[in-house]
Structure formats: structure tokens, C-alpha cells
Structure 1
Amino acid sequence: MMRWWTAVVTLTVTGLALPGAPAVGATKVGAGDPVAAIQRQRVKGHGVRITEYRTLNSDAISGWGRFEPVKGAVGFGDGKVVASDFWDHQLGEAGVRLVCIGERLWECDPKTKRPKGKRWVAIKEPCVSRLETGNLRLDEPAVLAAVLVTTTTTKASDAYDGSPTTLHEGSISFRQLWNVRPELRGSSVRDAHADWEIDWRLWIGKDGLIRRAWSKWREPLPDEVKHLGAGQEWMGLVKDVRYSDWGMKLTIKPPPAAQTIASGRLKY
């Protein structure tokens, strides 16, 4: 069950990468306005460094299990997230590097044998780069604003990335989230579970930039794997994402064509 879930996450949740160039510092905006702060960061040639921790409760026997962190960065351009480049050490023997530019995806698994000179595989499945903790997109102004409206607690908290932060926390239902992300409706949570909630926490610096984003929620198990839940008909998920070096210089480029092979040409 753990392997099944990891494979799903690999294709649907992107937004991490390799270390980029030295940071140039976060853009200063009005304090306490993370929606505007993140919008101001989405400048071509810049990005943010990310470390994501994933925890899963897939069945009544195994309980909660934590994965190896995913590390990397996302790149900005045209006022949005345009690319990501990250290492997922939960995949393969030594981790797998995944590069997403637009909707194009490339994979590098250093421990898997490839044709001579080919380090990269071009994957047919489209990918999406985003700033997200769970289903809560931080790079989409309407989504982030809807999340912040559900704040129930605000208090001073720890420093992250050298910045003192204020912790904002609350809960948002899937029904509320569908109002600003209608494409999620029916994807994994249907009307019968629309009132299930996503608990969230955001650690926000004085400059309005999010330094840490945490979310915890349940989703009903798909019918085809429900028997794997050992009587538990849902899976629990936690995403804990750290953001650092906002405004760092970063340009994510496709792998060299000479080192790339299409997935359809591989022989298994």
C-alpha cells in the first residue's frame, strides 16, 4: 500500500528540486499578506527552495509511516510556477530525480540500467509544477485566500530560514476547497465526504512569505484497494513543507537531448 501511494504522489504532486544559485533575498511586501507576497515572488529567473516531508496512514495495521524527504526547488516565470527539479529518495535504490518544465517530465534514476550515454528518460505523462501542501495551493491567490479565511488561531512561533514567523492555523472542508479548486471535485473525495476537513498550519514571516506549510487530512480509499486497508476505509496523509531562499536565482533547463531517451523506446 505504501508503494502504491508513493507512485501516485510522484505523478501528481510536483514542486521540488536541486540546489540553485545563491539567494538574492526575499522580495519585501506588505507585512501579513502572504497572497500578495507570493505573487511578487513569481519573477522569471527566480525560485524558492523546498523540502517536503510526507507521512501516510494507509491501513489499520501499519499505522503512520514517514517517507524520506523530497528536496529541491521550483522556478517562476510569467507570474506563475513554470518548472520544478527535485530528488525523491523514496523512489528507486538511490532516489530519482524528476524535472518538470511546463507539462514535460524527465526522470533520472542513477541505479537503473539505461542505453549507453542515456541518463534521462522523457516520460509521456504530463506533469504540473506548483507550490502546494496537500490540496492547498499556495501559488493560487484564490485558494490561499480561501484557506486564510478559515484561520482559527494566530500566534508568534519559531524562526524558519532565519525569519521569525507567526503561526496561522485552521481547517477547511473539501466542500469549501471545491469552491476555489473545482477540478478537485470527485477526483479522490466525493460528495459523501465533502464535509471532511483538511487541518492546516502556515508559518508566515514578517514579509508575508510562507516559511513552512503543514496539512493533515483523510481521503476514502479507492474501491480497488479498499481491501488493503485491513478494515480501515480511508487513508490519512500529512504534508509538511519547508520553504527557504525565496527569490533565489534559478533557471531550470531540460536535460541534454543527447543524454535523453523517450520512455516508449525503453526495453523492459
Structure 2
Amino acid sequence: MAVATLSVIGSALYGTPAVGAATAGDPVAAIQRQLVKGYGVRITEYDTFNSGRISGWERFKPTKGVVGFGDGKVAATDLWDFQLGVAGVRDICIGKRIWDYDPADKLPNGKKWVTFKYPCVLRLQTGHLRLDEPKVLAAVLETTKTTKASDTYDGTPTTLHEGSISFRQLWNVRPELRDGSVKNEHADWEIDWRLWIGKDGLVRRAWSKWREPEGDKLKGLSDGQGWFGYVKDVRYSDWGMRLTIKPPPAAQTIAFDKLKH
């Protein structure tokens, strides 16, 4: 999606790359050096889902936008999800609040955005594999099986790193995942992953594929397959771009609880 498309409503300010490129080497350190207030990265994410033996694999429309950094972490996101609505839905997420723009919504005169409290997912990740969390990315890279020269992304030649990490290994660095659908009896199921990394140590593409058991709450919904499948494929570009993600103008915003339902 062109920059003009993202900025048409005017809440995110984009510019040219400003954070200095990291020296060649450790991707963990390279990404951590990017997490500076006033800067960010552009992303495009493609999701594929396997809901069972009858439907099989289905690829969804992409999510595109920008991720803003600050104080060593992800501070805000501004994303268009083209799988939702008629023409896509734009969400700005800052802290614990979201602003939602759906071109198809019929809102009161002058209002374009609906806002409500929401647990924003403020992280750089492909599936369960977080790139912005040093322990997680380091653990993933430790399971590398092969590396080879690969394609050019964002104008940068990359090296493809491939491997697999089990849920058990991932729990050691992301213990909160133990509360998910994968239990001890499936802890050795693996997440296959691929990272395309530039000479500057920055990830230009991150891909992961895995299965999760359907569990008791969703038992039977996978058409007897017994699991659901996931593929996450995220492209990263314009690392170090100047970026400030702000809420939309208050005059164009209405609280969700003030809408007539």
C-alpha cells in the first residue's frame, strides 16, 4: 500500500529513514537498536489458516501499515486489515485504546473514527515468534538448521535462516504461552520458521508455520483433523523511518458506547 493511502486520514507522520543501520551481525542487537522513540518500521502481513480437512488452507487478504517504537519496545501501531469490512478496516492502537476506521460505517455527521478500550497487541512478531523480545529471538536463532544466500527484500540482499522450535522450547522464553491451546501433551509440536536477514542484521521477512490442537472447547470443528494450522508471513521495510503515530482528531472521533446500537 502506498504511503499516501496510509496517511490520507492524517494521524501518522512518515518520513525518511533516520536511525543508523546496525553493523553486520547479531539480529537481536540490530533490532533492539531500532526501538527508539520517533521511529518505526513498515510491515505487510499475510495470514493463511487451515480450519480442517474439508476447507483446507485459506490465504487471507493482507494487513499493511506501520509500527512505531519507543523506550525499547513497540509503542503503537497503525494498520489496515483488508480482510475486514468491504474495503478494509484501519486501526490505530496506542496503549490500551484503539481507534477504528471503517469506510463503510455510517457514523454521525463529521465522525470517521470509533474509539474504545482494547488490549493492543504491541509487538513485532510472526505468529508466536517475537522479534522485539531478545530472549525469544535468540532462542529461535539457536534452533537454526540451515543458512543460505537468498532474495533481495527492501532493496537489501538477505541470508535465509531456517529452523524449527518446539512449543516446549518456546515456553522457556515466553512462559505466558503455556496458558494457550497447546498443553503438555503437545509441547513437542514444532513451529517451522524462516528469517530473511540483511547484512545489517535486520529482518526483512519473517515466516512461521505451525499446528495447534483443536482442544476441548473447539472439539470437532476441524472436521476430524484434530488440529488447526497457521502460516504467518511478515515483510519488514523502511527500518528506522521517522514515525509518530497519534490518535485521530478528537472532532472526528466518537466513543463506541455513545453509538446507537
TM-score range, shorter chain: over 0.9
Q: Is 2:81 the partner of 1:93? A: no
1:258 is displaced (CA, Å) by: 1.7
Identity fraction in percent: 72
Query: Higher helix fraction: Structure 1 or Structure 2?
Result: 1
TM-score scaled by length of structure 2: 0.92
Measured in 2, the distance between the counterparts of 1:210 and 1:190 equals 30
1:26 is displaced (CA, Å) by: 5.7
1:114 is displaced (CA, Å) by: 1.6
Query: Higher strand fraction: Structure 1 or Structure 2?
Result: 2
Q: Is 2:88 the partner of 1:102? A: no
**Aligned match of 1:118 in 107, 111, 116?**
111
Q: Is the 8 A contact 1:170 1:200 kept in 2?
A: yes
Q: Is the 8 A contact 1:164 1:206 kept in 2?
A: yes
Aligned residues: 252
Q: Which residue of 1 aligns with 2:188?
A: 195
Q: Is 2:180 the partner of 1:167? A: no
Measured in 2, the distance between the counterparts of 1:115 and 1:192 equals 52
Gaps of 5+ in 1: 1-16
Measured in 1, the distance between the counterparts of 2:42 and 2:120 equals 19
TM-score scaled by length of structure 1: 0.90
Tell me, what secondary structure is at the counterpart of 2:99?
A: strand
Q: Is the 8 A contact 2:98 2:120 kept in 1?
A: yes
Q: Which residue of 1 aligns with 2:10?
A: none
**Aligned match of 1:228 in 218, 221, 225?**
221
Q: Which amino acid aligns with 1:69?
A: P
**Aligned match of 2:39 in 28, 37, 46?**
46
Q: CA RMSD in A?
A: 1.5
Q: Is the 8 A contact 1:189 1:219 kept in 2?
A: yes
Q: Is the 8 A contact 1:72 1:87 kept in 2?
A: yes
Measured in 2, the distance between the counterparts of 1:203 and 1:152 equals 14
Q: Which amino acid aligns with 2:119?
A: P
Gaps of 5+ in 2: 8-12
Measured in 2, the distance between the counterparts of 1:247 and 1:186 equals 34
Q: Which amino acid aligns with 2:32?
A: Q
Q: Which amino acid aligns with 2:78?
A: D
1:47-98 Cα shifts (integer Å, max 9, x gaps): 0000000001111101111000110010011121100000001011111001
**Aligned match of 2:55 in 62, 72, 85?**
62
